[in-house]
Amino acid sequence: MRPLTKTNLADTAIEAIRGEILSKRWAVGEKLPNEATLSATLSVSRGTIREAVRVLASQGLLETRQGSGTFILSTIDAALPLSMARRASLRDLFEARCALDVEAARLAASRQSAGTVSGLRALLARRGNFAGGDPAGFVERDLAFHKAVIAASGNRAMIEIYDFFTASIAETIVATLGNDIPEPDMQAHADIIDAIATGDPQEADAAVRRFMAPVITALDRMLHS
């Protein structure tokens, strides 16, 4: 990156860092250079860098973790049309995520408890619907809900696998915030909880597949259009 010379330094810093993120200078999950480094590289104040990071986090590209730093959440701009390559990549990610979510929900149903179900309902209420304004915050809340479903499976290996693929799963959530792929609504999420609460693995299996079906169908349609 080269030092900035434009008048509106905040906007220019945003575009400079965004350009580096979208060009995949840093991988998803990688830590962004600290404020001091970015400030020196772009020849702007640390306050300008903080503002740029705040904006890019709200756009779903960065995630700030208290005490740990700022990390790359996605190298894809959700506002851009989906390229054929990205459609295929997302199709694979959603398919893999579906397999994990289905089996986790089946196990969660067979091991469900009142406490687990009430915890899932509380996380879903906190998630809410995406109304714009803070994509990064919404992704974090949505991911927390889905990770809780995985945790409810009681399967340690499955939990670790999901954690390992967190960055990729977060990208699938970011993708549904654009206009091309339908975002599963609150009812679709609530249906998963209700199915787990029945204690019937088959019900949980079906609920997750219904949840994923519109997304995968949309991607299939885009791939063959």
What pLDDT was estimated at residue 7? Answer: 44
Q: What is the DSSP letter of 65?
A: E
Number of Cβ within a 10 Å radius of residue 145: 20
Residue boundaries of the structural domains of the chain: 9-72, 84-223
The CATH architecture that domain 84-223 belongs to is: Up-down Bundle (1.20)
What's the mean pLDDT in 191-219?
96
Question: What is d(CA 93, CA 102) in angstroms, rounded to the nearest whole number?
Answer: 14
- Token match 């060009």: residue? 23
Question: Which tokens sit at 203?
Answer: 């019900």
Is the pLDDT at 62 greater than 50? The verdict is: yes
What pLDDT was estimated at residue 54? Answer: 87
Phi first, then psi, for residue 2 (nearest 5°) are -105, 155
What's the mean pLDDT in 29-34?
92
CATH number of 9-72: 1.10.10.10
E strands in the chain: 62-65, 69-72
Are the CB atoms for 145 and 184 separated by under 8 Å? no
Are the CB atoms for 70 and 64 separated by under 8 Å? yes
Give me the chain's average pLDDT, please: 86
What pLDDT was estimated at residue 84? Answer: 53
Per residue, the 3-state secondary structure of 87-114, as one string, reads HHHHHHHHHHHHHHHHHHHHHHHHCCCH
